[in-house]
């Protein structure tokens, strides 16, 4: 039994240096919601040092709100933004002798792709135009996953150890109480439940089925390093090996 452990990094918050050795995949900010050429190169080198797979963390161009505000961009503009971000990170990776291995949307764009098939198609088509071999990391049973499958793009299901779920299997909005989970024991128990039983309790106590190959800890969650360490230990004790999906 294998599980990938990923985190959003290169965002100028959190402790990437301490977090990276605990990961198997790293979603690197590509300059839209956070990051720049210097941070991308620095993060790529850090990932290489610890043999962590590099992914592109694409987002709405919205640094002011950290990419967590939904934007209604025309499809052509959104596609151009995605290509710009992919090219920027790919250039940094190439200069370091590495390459981008997957794509994950950030924040509002991630959630929009999960519920909006048109936006999902725009983003995934742009990714395919850049490199059709790149898999998409997204919510299971989402529009993004369905569109990826229709277009012939590999889609990898992701679950969140440090975020609360609704009974419908979506993430509880961040402005709701309890949306971000920071207790190490709770996060570790949820991670094992997702990996072993393919389920997680919703914020109101109901059981949500989650069939995921990758677990995410947000790099900007308070105590992210301790959470990632607790997840690794709990998964290993439960007989779940850590392995990148890409």
Rounded distance, CA 77 to CA 134, Å?
Answer: 21
Contact 50, 26 (CB under 8 A): no
Closest CA to 224 of 178, 164, 181, 176: 181
Q: Check residue 130 and give its pLDDT.
A: 98
> Is CATH 3.80.30.20 the right assignment for the domain spanning 2-242?
no
**% of the chain at pLDDT higher than 70:** 100
Q: b/e map of 144-168 (b: 16 or more CB within 10 Å)?
A: bbebbeebebebbbbbbbbbbbeee
Q: Where are the domains of the chain?
A: 2-242
Q: Check residue 1 and give its pLDDT.
A: 85
Q: b/e map of 67-82 (b: 16 or more CB within 10 Å)?
A: bbeebebeeeebbebb
**% of the chain at pLDDT higher than 90:** 94
Residue 220 has pLDDT above 90, yes or no: no
Work out the average pLDDT over 211-215. Answer: 97
Work out the average pLDDT over 44-58. Answer: 98
Rounded distance, CA 212 to CA 198, Å?
Answer: 7
**Which tens digits make up the pLDDT trace of 112-130?**
999 999 999 999 999 999 9
pTM of the predicted protein model = 0.96
Q: Check residue 85 and give its pLDDT.
A: 98
Q: Check residue 45 and give its pLDDT.
A: 97
Rounded distance, CA 130 to CA 216, Å?
Answer: 25
Please report which helix (H) or strand (E) contains residue 134, including its range. none
**Which tens digits make up the pLDDT trace of 233-245?**
999 999 999 999 9
């Amino acid at each position: 039994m294998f599980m990938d452990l990923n985190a959003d990094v290169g965002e100028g918050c959190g402790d990437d240096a301490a977090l990276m050795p605990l990961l198997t995949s790293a979603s690197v900010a590509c300059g839209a919601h956070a990051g720049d050429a210097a941070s991308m190169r620095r993060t790529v080198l850090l990932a290489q040092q610890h043999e962590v797979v590099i992914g592109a963390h694409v987002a709405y161009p919205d640094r002011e709100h950290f990419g967590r505000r939904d934007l209604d961009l025309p499809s052509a503009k959104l596609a151009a933004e995605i290509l710009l971000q992919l090219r920027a990170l790919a250039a940094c990776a190439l200069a370091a002798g590495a390459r981008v291995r997957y794509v994950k949307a950030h924040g509002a764009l991630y959630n929009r792709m999960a519920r909006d098939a048109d936006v999902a198609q725009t983003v995934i088509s742009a990714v395919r135009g850049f490199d059709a071999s790149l898999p998409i990391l997204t919510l299971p049973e989402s529009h993004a996953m369905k569109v990826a499958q229709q277009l012939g793009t590999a889609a990898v299901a992701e679950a969140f150890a440090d975020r609360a779920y609704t009974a419908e299997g979506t993430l509880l909005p961040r402005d709701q109480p309890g949306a971000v989970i920071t207790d190490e024991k709770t996060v570790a128990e949820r991670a094992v439940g997702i990996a072993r039983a393919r389920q997680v309790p919703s914020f109101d106590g109901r059981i949500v089925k989650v069939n995921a190959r990758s677990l995410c800890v947000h790099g900007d969650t308070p105590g992210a390093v301790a959470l990632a360490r607790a997840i690794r230990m709990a998964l290993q004790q439960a007989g779940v090996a850590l392995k990148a999906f890409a």
